[in-house]
Amino acid sequence: MLHVHFNKMFVIPPILNAAFNAEAIINQKNISNFRSKYNLPGQYWIYVAHYYPHKNHITLLKAYHKLITSSNINPWPLILRGDRVGESREIADTIKKLNLTEYVTILPRLDENELSLLYGAAGAMVFPSLYEGGGIPILEAMACGCPVLSSNLPSIREYGGDSVLYFNAGEVDELVAFMKSLQNDQKLRDSLRQKGLVQSSKYSSDLTISKLLHVYNLMQV
């Protein structure tokens, strides 16, 4: 459309904030203090997203309700972290309607250091978004050693590669099955955790700066 030759196009990845670092989280030894501060259990599901319609919180809540009522496992609590915009009223009403009040916690805004602890302390992140231009929360979670279950979007696949467990967005039963599988399978979580740490390392400042310098040098030729 813009008649630009592919040889003159370069993709520069975003830089992942250094605060999202599994090794740093472990060294701080303050995950237990973080759990105590916000009254969080040892294992929980986390979804970090603002309350916009395309973030698909309602489908997640329906799936989570079905996970509770139709399986023989004791589901981890679900922690939501997002600003109260968009569909926040509908989300609150759905939580109440599905009798999920005792299972779902909505956290206030956290600074980056606490957000990294939120990822690091979680059992897994579920990300049911219907549309994404990228996948920054996916990268943040993986960098903190948090396994990720996400909707199968091309933009998220570009970020997550084979380090993420994917399901078809909007498919409640499929999401329930994957949540049950991931919660029950420690080996699967460990595998996703290790793959995620490798994948997220591709978005370091050193690598991005190196690619930028390479492009700048080509432009001077």
Topology (CATH level 3) of domain 48-201 = Rossmann fold (3.40.50)
User: Cα angle at 48 between 198 and 44, to 5 degrees?
Assistant: 80
Kindly report the three-state secondary structure assignment for every residue of 192-209: HHHHHHHHHHHHCHHHHH
Hey, what are 159's tokens? 């970020």
Domain coordinates in residue numbering, the chain? 48-201
Q: At 64, is the pLDDT very low, low, confident or very high (cuts 50, 70, 90)?
A: very high
Q: How far apart are CA 167 and CA 2, in angstroms?
A: 34
Q: What is the pLDDT of residues 155-197, one digit of tens each?
A: 999 999 999 999 998 889 999 999 999 999 999 999 999 999 9
- The reported pTM is 0.87
Q: What is the pLDDT of residues 125-142, one digit of tens each?
A: 999 999 998 889 999 999
Contacts of 156 (CB under 8 A, 6+ apart): 127, 129, 132, 135, 138, 150, 164, 166
